[in-house]
């Protein structure tokens, strides 16, 4: 239980008060919209965080790797949606989870994979519950709600004895916008497309009980979710500078930061050099194309107060270059002397977290607890 002042740097810090506030804000919103909430735990891959989300009222979890499914199942969570398209090479791993009693749901958006799932399921006497992935915004994968392929995939699953459990949509294009009106339109489109796909399936005789949608920007913007049964969101638990630029959080909501130390200066350039480079921050430059480019992150004091205008403007593997936007600060060595400890807010919390083997959870009294996170597939 080191105090934050005693931690080695760089270190990934979780402000537990902010995290808890973010969890409660989302859960309250979902409650008022009348839908279930299934957090995407790929953001943190961390048991204490997932436990806090479930304790606040979440129903089940979403994962992006079967490794996450294995880890969270081993910790007692059994309602798990693996939300990346299934392929033949991963079915053994999925089967082993199901055979151990995990209520694992898998997804597909094509008849070829549906056939593989069906044949594999038949061979092993396993009825997989499969949700069909719907594309509502041409962002990534999925079948568009009106496409014939929707029914073809459902029939393929049914003909091989699998269960069509529902539809799932993720409006990833919400990340490309920063106005409430645009987010509202994408949220509505995400809801409408998923509900329409479910309606088509039901008209064709499939029960399709679940309609699952979500991304952090759409979850925090949607006004009505009639016909939706559950929402998924991941990054909301920490938030980050990309979410700040989109307009769904303030910098004071960002719960993840990287603790770093000033190790030197280039006074004539107005630089402070810190021991957080891209290895600690990730190479994610998600704010580059947004309205405010934060470089590799926003600098804050050690207690988390934003230093306006000071960003991590450059990053080598273990060196970060901290400078002021616009006019160079030639007094930076006096302002931030060697040994000064700072926090850097990340562009993309999922990517920054993934650079670290563990988080340091900072409690209200400044004491810290190590919260492990895991890697791999």
Ligand X SMILES: Cc1ncc(COP(=O)(O)O)c(C=O)c1O
Smaller CB distance to ligand X: residue 172 or 277? Answer: 172
End-to-end Cα spacing for the chain? 31
Least separation, in Å, of the C-beta of 348 and ligand X? 10
Return the structure tokens found at 97: 């989870």
Query: β-pairing, 230-231 with 210-213?
Result: parallel
Least separation, in Å, of the C-beta of 150 and ligand X? 17
| List 170, 196, 343, 348, residue binding ligand X (CB under 6 A) | 170
Q: Are 315 and 296 in contact (CB under 8 A)?
A: yes
Smaller CB distance to ligand X: residue 94 or 235? Answer: 235
Return the structure tokens found at 306: 């934003």
Q: Are 238 and 23 in contact (CB under 8 A)?
A: no
Smaller CB distance to ligand X: residue 324 or 348? Answer: 348
Q: Are 360 and 12 in contact (CB under 8 A)?
A: yes
Residues 72-111, one symbol each (x = binds ligand X by CB under 6 A, - = not), give: -----------x----------------------------
Residues 54-73, one symbol each (x = binds ligand X by CB under 6 A, - = not), give: --------x-----------
Least separation, in Å, of the C-beta of 9 and ligand X? 27
| List 11, 22, 23, 40, residue binding ligand X (CB under 6 A) | 40
Least separation, in Å, of the C-beta of 48 and ligand X? 19
Residues 208-247, one symbol each (x = binds ligand X by CB under 6 A, - = not), give: ------xxx---------------xxxxx-----------
Least separation, in Å, of the C-beta of 40 and ligand X? 4
Least separation, in Å, of the C-beta of 148 and ligand X? 23
Give 79's strand partners: 103
Smaller CB distance to ligand X: residue 43 or 136? Answer: 43
Smaller CB distance to ligand X: residue 320 or 346? Answer: 346
What are the helix and strand counts (H, E) for the chain? 12, 17
Smaller CB distance to ligand X: residue 4 or 106? Answer: 106
Smaller CB distance to ligand X: residue 239 or 294? Answer: 239
C-alpha angle with apex 144: 138 to 147, nearest 5 degrees? 145
CA distance 171 to 207: 24
Least separation, in Å, of the C-beta of 303 and ligand X? 27
DSSP 99-124: HTT-EEEEEESSHHHHHHHHHHHHHH
DSSP label of 176: G
CA distance 80 to 63: 7
Q: Are 53 and 39 in contact (CB under 8 A)?
A: yes
CA distance 107 to 165: 9
Smaller CB distance to ligand X: residue 160 or 188? Answer: 188
Q: Are 133 and 142 in contact (CB under 8 A)?
A: yes
Q: Are 184 and 171 in contact (CB under 8 A)?
A: no
Least separation, in Å, of the C-beta of 289 and ligand X? 17
Number of residues located near ligand X, criterion CB under 6 A? 13
Residues found near ligand X in the complex (CB under 6 A) = 40, 43, 62, 83, 170, 214-216, 232-236
């Amino acid at each position: 239980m080191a105090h934050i002042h005693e931690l080695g740097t760089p270190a990934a810090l979780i402000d537990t008060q902010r995290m808890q506030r973010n969890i409660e804000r989302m859960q309250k919103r979902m409650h008022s919209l009348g839908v279930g909430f299934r957090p995407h735990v790929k953001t943190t891959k961390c048991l204490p965080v997932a436990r806090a989300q479930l304790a606040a009222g979440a129903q089940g979890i979403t994962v992006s790797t079967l490794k996450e499914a294995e880890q969270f199942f081993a910790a007692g969570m059994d309602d798990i949606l693996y939300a990346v398209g299934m392929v033949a090479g991963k079915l053994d791993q999925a089967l082993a989870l199901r055979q151990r009693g995990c209520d694992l749901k898998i997804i597909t958006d094509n008849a070829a994979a549906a056939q593989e799932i069906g044949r594999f399921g038949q061979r092993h006497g396993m009825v997989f519950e499969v949700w069909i992935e719907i594309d509502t915004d041409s962002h990534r994968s999925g079948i568009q709600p009106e496409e014939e392929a929707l029914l073809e995939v459902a029939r393929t699953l049914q003909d091989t004895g699998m269960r069509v459990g529902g539809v799932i949509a993720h409006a990833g294009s919400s990340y490309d916008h920063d106005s409430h009106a645009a987010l509202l339109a994408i949220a509505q489109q995400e809801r409408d497309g998923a509900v329409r796909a479910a309606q088509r399936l039901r008209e064709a005789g499939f029960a399709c009980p679940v309609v699952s949608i979500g991304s952090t920007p759409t979850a925090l913007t949607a006004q009505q979710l009639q016909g939706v049964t559950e929402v998924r969101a991941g990054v909301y638990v920490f938030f980050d500078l990309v979410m700040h630029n989109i307009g769904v959080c303030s910098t004071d909501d960002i719960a993840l930061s990287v603790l770093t130390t000033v190790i030197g200066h280039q006074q004539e350039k107005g630089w402070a050099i810190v021991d957080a480079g891209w290895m600690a921050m990730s190479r994610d430059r998600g704010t580059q194309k947004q309205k405010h480019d934060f470089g590799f992150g926003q600098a804050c004091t050690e207690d988390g107060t934003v230093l306006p205008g000071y960003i991590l403007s450059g990053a080598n593997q273990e060196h970060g270059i901290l400078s002021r936007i616009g006019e160079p600060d030639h007094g930076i060595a006096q302002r931030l002397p060697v040994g000064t400890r700072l926090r850097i807010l990340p562009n993309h919390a999922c990517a920054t977290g993934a650079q670290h083997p563990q988080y340091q959870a900072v409690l209200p009294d400044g004491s810290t607890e190590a919260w492990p996170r895991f890697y791999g597939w």
